[in-house]
């Protein structure tokens, strides 16, 4: 069996950053990246629009450009990688089984970083009635066909979901000569960035139908149209508001789900709300020596955050592979999401590594003028005023050394939100 200090599964921005950071922190530089696709870079390879790296590089790059900067470093550092290689199994003992055209590979890792990204929710997952003709795509499929393979996927389209991906795809389809009839959003607000609503819809005159639901897909062989309807505040269809829209394409952009089938095989505890593993501030999962970062941990809207998070995970993975004893018998304080907060990552603070870290979270609804507080043992440690909070935008709060020094370690850290 081949042996490595750190094995990274997945080569998107999370995998690349984690591998580079592990590599830097190791004496014995045995790091391996395993990627099932032909190329390194993950989902970024098909995101040819600008909008990546504003925070990390302070300049606006396209997805492939952003990925390229990390791929270059991986190649320069001569970090080993396997492409077109699919990891099919991980055990709690950190043995990996991967498969490619040459055969089955068994690899023993001192530590593993999970960076498998996520998959898209589908038409079926949100239980959309109607027929099942051709012409129904997820945003990712459409992006691949259009941006990588150079095909047109239809003539007239409806987009379901107004998160950033749906918005960006509305613009992309329009630029490709496909008429986007509307972007349909069930919530009363878009979860996409303001900037994207302006640049991707308003600039092209594409209507955004808030509080609207796709209620039925029509067409026998190819999509022939959809019926949409208004919904009330309970998201229930309002009778007699039904409207038929003729189109030959429906694009679903209705959310992402962390890809944790392998994590389950390794017996890792998952968080129902994030869909990813429960981690502490070292990004360690419930299985010692297995770390997680990027979209496999929780869905990010900005790649810059993925990179930062992955660097931390990579650093601790390197540390684990050299000094596993530091991770023995760890004691944790829980970090709990309360009123108004959907989830927090990390979910625990490791008492052995009480070091500054970034707490990331999402709110559970649309809020105007609210305060986010972080408290501990009944004491408010941080209080941040926000004029607008939406579930679509991930929030980050720095937990500094100063705050850590005020902690009562026998009590939970509580994150909550109050209206003002």
- Which residues form the interface with ligand FAD (CB under 6 A)? 9-15, 34-37, 42-44, 47, 51-52, 86-87, 115-117, 139-140, 143, 164-165, 168, 259, 262, 294-296, 300, 302-304, 306
User: Could you say whether residue 419 binds other proteins (CB under 8 A)?
Assistant: no
Using the rule CB under 8 A, is 15 a contact of other proteins?
no
Q: Among other proteins, ligand FAD, none, what binds residue 52 when CB lies within 5 to 8 Å by partner kind?
A: ligand FAD
DSSP helix/strand/coil, 129: coil
- What is the C-alpha radius of gyration for the chain, rounded to an integer number of angstroms? 22
Among positions 65-104, residues that touch other proteins (CB under 8 A) are 84, 86, 88, 97, 99-104
CB of 310 to other proteins, least distance (A): 21
Stretch 160-189 residues interacting with other proteins (CB under 8 A): 176
Is 125 a binder of other proteins (CB under 8 A)? yes
- Taking the complex as a whole, the smallest distance from the CB of residue 189 to other proteins amounts, in Å, to 23
Among 135, 276, 346, 392, which residue interacts with other proteins (rule: CB under 8 A)?
135
Given the rule CB under 8 A, which of 165-173, 192-200, 219-227, 283-291 is the region that contacts other proteins? 219-227
Q: How many residues bind other proteins (CB under 8 A)?
A: 51
Q: Assign residue 41 a region: left if phi > 0, alpha if psi is -120 to 50, beta otherwise? A: left
Residue from the set 127, 329, 378, 410 that interacts with other proteins by CB under 8 A: 127
Contact yes or no for 282/139 (Cβ under 8 A): no
Binding partner of 135, given ligand FAD, other proteins, none, CB within 5-8 angstroms per partner class: other proteins
* Contact of residue 306 among ligand FAD, other proteins, none (CB under 5-8 Å per partner type): ligand FAD
Of 17, 10, 12, the residue nearest 33 (C-alpha): 10
Phi-psi region of 11 (alpha: psi -120 to 50; beta: other; left: phi over 0): alpha
- The residue assigned the tokens 């749906």 is 166
Q: How far is the CB of 347 from other proteins (least distance, A)?
A: 20
Cis peptide before 392 (omega within 30 of 0): no
CB of 122 to other proteins, least distance (A): 4
Non-local (6+) Cβ contacts of 296 within 8 A are 10, 14, 114, 115, 116, 117, 118, 258, 259, 260, 263, 276, 277
Nearest approach, Cβ of 36 to other proteins (angstroms)?
Answer: 7
Residue 269 in tokens: 């505890």
| Interaction between residue 1 and other proteins (CB under 8 A) | no
The residue among 149 and 325 lying less far from other proteins, judged by its C-beta, is: 149
Give me the least distance between CB of 141 and ligand FAD, in Å please.
11
Query: In DSSP terms, which residues pair with 8 in a beta bridge?
Result: 33, 113
Per-residue b/e over 92-125, b at no fewer than 16 CB within 10 Å? eebebebeeeeeebebebbbbbbbbbbebbbbee
Q: How is residue 197 written in tokens? A: 């609503």
State how beta strands 208-209 and 179-184 pair. parallel
Binding status of residue 234 toward other proteins by CB under 8 A: no
| Alpha-carbon torsion (18, 19, 21, 27), positive or negative | positive
How far is Cα 161 from Cα 142, in angstroms, rounded to an integer? 14
Would you tell me which residues interact with other proteins (CB under 8 A)? 36, 84, 86, 88, 97, 99-104, 119-120, 122-125, 127, 129-135, 138, 140-141, 144-146, 148-155, 176, 215-218, 220-222, 237, 248, 261, 264
């Amino acid at each position: 069996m081949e042996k490595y200090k750190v094995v990274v599964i997945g080569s998107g921005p999370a995998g690349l950053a984690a591998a580079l950071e592990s590599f830097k922190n190791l004496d014995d530089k045995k790091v391996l990246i395993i990627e099932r696709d032909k190329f390194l870079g993950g989902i970024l390879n098909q995101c040819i629009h600008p909008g990546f790296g504003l925070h990390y590089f302070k300049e606006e790059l396209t997805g492939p450009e952003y990925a390229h900067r990390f791929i270059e470093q991986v190649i320069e550092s001569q970090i080993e990688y396997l492409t077109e290689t699919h990891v099919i199994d991980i055990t709690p003992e950190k043995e990996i089984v991967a498969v490619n055209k040459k055969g089955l590979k068994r690899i023993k890792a001192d530590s593993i970083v999970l960076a498998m990204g996520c998959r898209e929710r589908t038409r079926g997952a949100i239980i959309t009635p109607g027929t099942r003709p051709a012409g129904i795509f997820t945003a990712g499929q459409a992006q691949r066909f259009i941006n990588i393979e150079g095909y047109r996927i239809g003539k007239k389209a409806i987009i379901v979901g107004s998160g950033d991906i749906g918005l960006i795809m509305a613009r992309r389809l329009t630029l490709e000569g496909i008429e986007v009839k509307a972007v349909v959003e069930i919530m009363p607000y878009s979860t996409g960035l303001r900037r994207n609503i302006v640049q991707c819809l308003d600039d092209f005159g594409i209507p955004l139908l808030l509080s609207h639901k796709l209620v039925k897909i029509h067409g026998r062989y190819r999509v022939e149209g959809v019926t949409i309807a208004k919904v009330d505040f309970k998201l229930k269809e309002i009778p007699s508001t039904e409207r038929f829209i003729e189109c030959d394409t429906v694009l679903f952009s209705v959310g992402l789900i962390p890809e944790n089938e392998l994590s389950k095989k390794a017996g890792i505890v998952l968080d129902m709300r994030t869909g990813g593993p429960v981690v502490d501030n070292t990004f360690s999962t419930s299985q010692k020596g297995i770390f997680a970062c990027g979209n496999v941990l929780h869905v990010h809207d900005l790649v810059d955050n993925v990179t930062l998070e992955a660097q931390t995970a990579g650093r601790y993975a390197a540390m684990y592979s050299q000094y596993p004893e530091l991770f023995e018998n760890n004691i944790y304080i829980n970090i709990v999401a309360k009123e108004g907060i959907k989830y927090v990552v990390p979910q625990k603070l490791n008492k052995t590594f009480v070091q500054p870290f970034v707490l990331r979270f999402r709110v559970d609804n649309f809020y105007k003028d609210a305060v986010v507080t972080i408290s501990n043992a009944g004491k408010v440690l941080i209080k941040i005023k926000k004029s607008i909070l939406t579930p679509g935008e991930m929030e980050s709060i720095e937990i500094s050394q100063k705050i850590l020094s005020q902690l009562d370690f026998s009590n939970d850290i509580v994150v909550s939100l109050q209206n003002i």
